[in-house]
Chains A and B, each alone.
Chain A
Amino acid sequence: MILVIAEQREGQLNRASWEAIAAAQQAGGPVKIAVLGAGVAAAATELAVADAAEIVTVEAPALEDYTADGYVQALSALVGAESPTHVFFPHTYQTRDFAPALAARLQRALITDVTAIKKQGDGLVYVRPVFQGKLNADVSAEGPAPHLITCQIGAFRADAAARGASAAAVRKAAIDVDASAIRQKPEAPFKEAKQAVDLSQAERIVAVGRGIKGQEHLQLVEKLAQAIGAEIAASRPICDSGWLPMDRQIGSSGQTVAPKLYVALGISGAIQHLVGMKGSRTIVAINKDPEAPIFEIADFGITGDLFEVVPALIAELSK
């Protein structure tokens, strides 16, 4: 049995939970889905449409706000009680915060950021990106079950999750969480007030990455953006360097966009960036490295020096 840990905040399911459910169903065998928190009945009902043996809720006042200590405590008890062969999670920031501690406490293997699962003999082989997505690795989980698996966001299709013929039964697990053992004291999540730019509405985006080399070269990018009527955006390192404001950042920690046209200049295509833009309708990549992962998802690619290609593009557009 594969146990999938769904993620919710204030009762709202994180959509990536359905991706983890789809992955678990593809891996084979019966699937149970667990959801943790305080007041998760509605989320459990929502999950019950999935083709699953059972929905298990872990309800405790101490789980109202997410904390790593609370989740590790609750999940180590749940995994002990349910004895799954595998535990699947969506590879969200929240999972990244607690899953390694849970694996260490259970002394069980944890494979992170899995993009595909292959069956081999009676075991599973997991595909995960290494070297910023430039290479893939096939890995096996070693040691006794359960093995813990986190599914990369966007790698499995949420709409591929099979629905059941009738609603799955919902059961409340008898697990208490000791609030006094939780060392992290969280405050309410917030958004930075200066978040002024909404790139999700842009029809065209020109995004720039490390290949731009220096802030002084951004003028070139601005000219191209003007020529095609696009908003300017960037990958994380450009915003980290302070060359463009943080609200121009595309990727897992920034904005998610799906414009009609996305032009990636000097962006290698690390997964953290790709998750924020791979839904774009037409993707153009210009990069000097022919092996850059951005070319895997591009519709049109030019291998070359952006300092030569971009001026040529601007000249061509003015014709």
Chain B
Amino acid sequence: MKIAVCIKQVVTREWQLRVNDSKSWIRDQDASFELNEPDAYALEEALRLKEKHGGEVVVCSAGPARAAQVLREALARGADRAIHVESEPLASADAFVIADVLAAAVRDEKFDLVLTGLQSDDQGFGQVGVVLAEKLGMPHATIIMEVQVTGPTMRVKRELEGGWFQWMTLPLPALLTIQSGINQLRYATLKGIMAAKKKEIRKVAPSASTAQAQKILSVYFPEKGKKTQMLPGSPAEAARALVQKLRDEVRVIS
């Protein structure tokens, strides 16, 4: 099986977000970055499918030069090669732009299966995978928790809301968006990190520029909607104040 995994580099969860001067995006010059978490599960699923069925795993990312970090990490975890659609404006591009440049980069490779995470931790569009499927003319299924490949078709378990699931069969080639928790992640070994240094990252320029379908006018910290009482002081002082409130004010504990 020839499998593509589309991955994104995002700022780490621990990084304290700061908005840039024009309020158009974050000021990420001094941020630390990591692999978008659902994409890590998509990569792991691709590696497991390769172990079972043979073939090749190719990781693809559309992003600025720094995104090479997550491609290198994916190679260290076991991907065979990488494609990097490299351009600085892709850092905050919308889903149509990203899907367009990814489609152009992977179309001629004739993948049997394309995997993405279900959404990114930064923009959170939840669109790139499904738009990419439409552009590649592939059937798709989203929020997938199990994948069974049987020859020319595939049976996948979709997560629905509120604890419901559904199995669905679709023909290959196809695209799936993967839900976090589908598998247990592996981490790169020293051997993997060494091997990754010899693996290819093919850089490609983005295809002819696509118009953005949405424009960010400003980003800002949300206002607190509800009156939150912050309880200050040392842990012991805050704990005492909280227990007093819960016992005497809202009477929710005895």
Contact = CB atoms under 8 A, between A and B. Distances in A.
Interface of A: 68-69, 72, 92-94, 96-101, 103-105, 108-113, 125, 128-143, 183-192, 195, 204, 210, 228-229, 236-237, 239-240, 242, 247, 252-256, 260-261, 268, 281-282, 284-285, 289, 291, 293, 295-305, 308-309, 311-313, 315-317
B167 interface: yes
B207 interface: no
A72 B248 CA distance: 55
Contacts of A317: 243, 253
Interface of B: 11, 13, 16-17, 19, 26, 95-96, 99, 118, 121-131, 133-135, 139-143, 158-171, 179-181, 184, 211-231, 235-236, 238-240, 242-243, 245-246, 250, 252-253
Among A110, A284, A296, chain B packs the most CB atoms within 10 A around the CB of A110
Contacts of B223: 296
Contact residues of A: prevailing secondary structure: mixed
A296 B131 contact: no
A184 B169 contact: yes
Contact of A316 (B130, B164, B225, B240): B240
Contacts of B239: 302, 309, 312-313, 315-316
A93 B243 CA distance: 39
A140 B217 contact: yes
Contact of A105 (B11, B134, B171): B134
Given A300-B231, A312-B236, A101 B130 contact: yes
B250 A282 contact: yes
A213 to B, nearest CB: 12
Contacts of B128: 100
A105 B253 CA distance: 55
12 contacts: A68-B140, A109-B213, A140-B215, A184-B141, A186-B167, A240-B180, A242-B184, A255-B162, A256-B162, A297-B228, A299-B228, A312-B236
A282 B252 contact: yes
Given A100-B131, A143-B211, A291-B17, A308 B235 contact: yes
A135 B219 contact: yes
Contacts of A256: 162
A100 B95 CA distance: 9
A312 B229 contact: no
Given A184-B141, A187-B166, A136 B221 contact: yes
A296 B228 CA distance: 7
A237 B110 CA distance: 34
A96 B143 contact: yes
Given A113-B126, A284-B246, A302-B231, A293 B222 contact: yes
Contacts of A142: 211-215
A188 B211 CA distance: 40
A252 B235 contact: no
Given A93-B142, A138-B217, A302-B239, 10 more contacts: A100-B95, A103-B213, A136-B220, A137-B218, A141-B213, A204-B253, A228-B253, A247-B163, A291-B16, A309-B239
B100 to A, nearest CB: 10
A312 B241 CA distance: 11
Contact of B160 (A132, A189, A316): A189
B229 A301 contact: yes
Contacts of A109: 96, 213-214
A246 to B, nearest CB: 8
Contacts of B118: 96
A45 to B, nearest CB: 25
Given A105-B134, A135-B221, A312-B238, A299 B213 contact: no
A210 B180 CA distance: 14
Contacts of A293: 222
B126 A261 contact: no
Given A100-B127, A239-B181, A302 B214 contact: no
Contacts of B215: 139-140, 142
Nearest to B37: A237
A316 B107 CA distance: 62
A184 B143 CA distance: 14
Given A134-B17, A189-B166, A253-B179, A93 B213 contact: no
